[in-house]
Amino acid sequence: GENVEQHPSTLSVQEGDSAVIKCTYSDSASNYFPWYKQELGKGPQLIIDIRSNVGEKKDQRIAVTLNKTAKHFSLHITETQPEDSAVYFCAASLSSGSARQLTFGSGTQLTVLP
């Protein structure tokens, strides 16, 4: 089955700096890679996703890059704000018309220091 590794497990940055979280996946057939943000006591919230036919996607301060050859993808948050503090999860899945079963990384606790 798919295995997703996520690094770092904790990340502290100063407000206004950039944050980068990296994930690797094992199944070369995976073709969908979402990122979720989870605040304490809440469910994961989708913040951005990318499909394997795209190398980079950007949405305001958030961007995701995908390297299919190396089987890794990264989340970039620029101009970080205190409200960006949360746990971030990457995930990978194979979609073949059947279940889009997400395999998640173990999460990164991001702390933005004011």
Partner 1 sequence: DTGVSQDPRHKITKRGQNVTFRCDPISEHNRLYWYRQTLGQGPEFLTYFQNEAQLEKSRLLSDRFSAERPKGSFSTLEIQRTEQGDSAMYLCASSFFASGSTDTQYFGPGTRLTVL
Q: Which is nearer to partner 1, 12 or 106 (by Cβ)?
A: 106
Residues in touch with partner 1 (CB under 8 A) = 4, 6, 34, 36, 41-46, 49, 89, 91, 95, 97-107
CB of 64 to partner 1, least distance (A): 14
- Output the CA torsion sign for 82, 74, 36, 48: positive
Hey, what are 13's tokens?
A: 């940055």
Amino acid, res. 90: C
CB of 113 to partner 1, least distance (A): 22
CB of 98 to partner 1, least distance (A): 7
Q: Which is nearer to partner 1, 12 or 18 (by Cβ)?
A: 12
CB 110 within 8 A of CB 83: no
Q: Which is nearer to partner 1, 62 or 78 (by Cβ)?
A: 62
The dihedrals phi and psi of 82, each to the nearest 5 degrees, come to -55, -35
Hey, what are 89's tokens?
A: 């999860």
CB of 91 to partner 1, least distance (A): 7
CB 76 within 8 A of CB 60: no
Q: Which is nearer to partner 1, 103 or 111 (by Cβ)?
A: 103
